[in-house]
């Protein structure tokens, strides 16, 4: 199973989602491959935001080696499921889908709720970690 996590910048939320989901999948011996990307291009080539690296490290997960990349159309072919953080990500990714099969791969990570953008609020990184972790656990329950 190949899973892609998508947010706006690919430096705060989706790197956490990649790290958390890969960690949980490995722990459960699922053999899943998890990646992440951003709809925007500002941070291409950069490491995740220090605050996300710290939040993950506090929970025993190392995301410091990840490198930011932009979401691209071929991701629809490469991945089985594409999980987005908020409704802007959802419409940006769906706008790039070429058919119903591709569009059907795209869902909000939290089902009917959004993961708020923590970029301008340091206090949001820990709650965002927990939201994403709970979302990933639910997804594993649903897909395994
Ligand atoms: P992310 O957060 O989408 O969770 O990675 C953001 C990071 C950077 C920007 C916006 C959101 N930015 O505008 O540079």
Q: Which ligand 1 atom is at minimum distance from the Cα of 43?
A: 14
Give the pLDDT of residue 23: 98
Give the pLDDT of residue 21: 98
CB 50 within 8 A of CB 73: no
Parse the chain into domains and list their residue ranges: 2-143
Give the pLDDT of residue 1: 98
Q: Which residue ranges have their beta carbon within 6 Å of ligand 1? A: 7-13, 38, 42, 117, 119
Q: Which ligand 1 atom is at minimum distance from the Cα of 9?
A: 5
Tens place of pLDDT per residue across the chain (144 aa):
999 999 999 999 999 999 999 999 999 999 999 999 999 999 999 999 999 999 999 999 999 999 999 999 999 999 999 999 999 999 999 999 999 999 999 999 999 999 999 999 999 999 999 999 999 999 999 998
CATH C-level class of 2-143:
alpha beta
Give the pLDDT of residue 144: 83
Closest CA to 138 of 83, 73, 71: 83
Q: What's the pTM value of the predicted model, to 2 decimals?
A: 0.98
CB-hemisphere CA count at 13 Å for 13? 31
117 catalytic, yes or no? yes
């Amino acid at each position: 199973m190949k899973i892609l996590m998508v947010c706006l910048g690919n430096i705060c939320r989706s790197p956490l989602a990649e790290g958390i989901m890969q960690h949980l999948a490995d722990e459960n011996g699922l053999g899943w491959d998890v990646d992440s990307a951003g709809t925007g291009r500002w941070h291409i080539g950069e490491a995740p935001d220090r605050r996300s690296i710290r939040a993950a490290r506090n929970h025993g997960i190392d995301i410091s080696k990840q490198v930011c990349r932009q979401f691209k159309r071929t991701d629809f072919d490469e991945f089985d499921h594409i999980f987005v953080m908020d409704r802007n990500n959802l419409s940006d990714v769906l706008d790039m889908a070429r058919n119903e099969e591709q569009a059907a791969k795209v869902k909000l990570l939290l089902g009917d709720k959004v993961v708020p953008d923590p970029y301008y609020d340091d206090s949001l990184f820990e709650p965002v970690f927990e939201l994403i972790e709970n979302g990933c656990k639910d997804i594993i329950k649903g897909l395994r």
